[in-house]
Chain A
């Protein structure tokens, strides 16, 4: 039997737990019906990368970028495959990527898209004021949204721009 005097204590302690349950429900319930299957190819490199990748007839093509001679900071853009089922990235070579059939549409054949954090920042002093992390990417479809575990090179990571991350296309074949 619950002591009546303890009821305010129980309610007081249940309210933060209720917030945790509501948040968890709003994150995990939409995920029950969403099963992304199509992996995607992206490249990690800043705007001064030596190479740029484009899609032509569903195939990857490398384009060399010409910079003035005094530019010495150009870096190699790295190609990666993001596995949507395991939530991990794997580096691949340009030759391997060329074997793939890619779809450059924003939405994957199963209806998902890669979106940025556009929350505009959140938090209230003194608790965790956070800027909008535009570089943070999510896999989205309707109410379903999952944080992508993408660790960009430190030189191309940014809270305000996403020039480090370049979505190339959904992998249809050849993985």
Chain B
């Protein structure tokens, strides 16, 4: 609609007494305020991103400093530079968090602390001669950093602690279950770690659903990440569990289309494009796998390619249809 038409419309509304001067002025003021606050929001988002980029650069600096001078630094210095920096950054974050205006800066320091803490604790344990390559020792290190960050989240409710709690919790889970797997050759089989990954990703998906119900924007962003990582991890693990002829798993090969359709259904229900994308990509991958596993030899490779190509066209249409009808709406 042209500006002239809008103004004419307003004129006629004023003449008819439908629109008052106050209503018009209020609408104008509201729109001006929204414009200012959206500008301020994008500026504060930009500065938050820069704080965290700064945090990553500090982390890289410390890692390179220790890495380049590993042979020259004595053990105390190595621990002070890494674990000491993590503790110092945590304390800085704690001090800054006392001032509302420095809230994002405090989170940037907690972020630095979260990045350096695993490196620091690994170096401290290594110097203490505890054998950091052993999974049981890694479980112990992971449980220390996990305990610190989950307690901090429960006390201060800052999302940065929650993100690191999920990362360190995953480290603890993979290290401890990895240790259990090594204990027995009965469970030390190639499928067990795939189940390990599958279980973790189901957990990410459910946590993603839980945080999608929250009102805070950072928690909703976290839920998008959890959905993304969870669905790609789950579908990858499930297709690997299917195995390959003649050692295929009938259950996982036959149930895989059900997982794909459940993913596509969830994408429409939860309105998540990530789930739709994952469902479509893995459906294509599954068709490729099944065709090359069972039909490529009988039908011949060129005919199989034609069939797969047609299937991909069909799937692409399905994806566009689902996106238009249920997700973008």
> Which residues of A pack against B, CB within 8 Å?
5, 8-9, 11-13, 15-16, 18-20, 23-24, 26-27, 30, 115, 117-124, 127-128, 130, 136, 138, 140, 143-147
Contacts and interface: CB of A to CB of B under 8 A. Distances in A.
A12 B197 contact: no
Interface string B159-170: 000000000010
Contacts, number: 106
Given A11-B206, A15-B199, A19-B177, 17 more contacts: A5-B213, A8-B206, A8-B210, A9-B210, A12-B206, A16-B177, A20-B173, A23-B187, A23-B192, A27-B186, A119-B189, A122-B193, A124-B236, A127-B174, A127-B193, A138-B184, A138-B185
Main secondary structure of the interface of B (DSSP, over half): helix
A38 B321 CA distance: 68
B237 interface: yes
Contacts of B196: 19, 127
Given A23-B177, A23-B187, A27-B187, A124 B203 contact: no
Interface residues of B, number: 38
Contacts of A146: 183-184
Contact of A20 (B180, B186, B189): B180
A136 B196 CA distance: 22
B185 A19 contact: no
Interface in B194-220: 194-197, 199-200, 202-204, 206-207, 209-210, 213
A12 B184 contact: no
Contacts of A12: 203-204, 206-207, 209-210
A12 B209 CA distance: 9
Contacts of A119: 185, 188-190
B176 interface: yes
B190 A121 contact: yes
B277 to A, nearest CB: 21
Nearest to A31: B184
B184 A19 contact: no
Nearest to A6: B210
A128 B185 contact: no
B178 interface: yes
A142 to B, nearest CB: 9
B178 A128 contact: yes
B182 interface: yes
Nearest to B191: A122
Given A8-B210, A16-B173, A122-B192, A147 B183 contact: yes
A145 B185 contact: yes
A15 B206 contact: yes
Tell me which of B183, B184, B190, B196 has the highest count of chain A C-beta atoms within 10 A of its own C-beta.
B184
B181 interface: yes
Nearest to B204: A12
Nearest to B233: A124
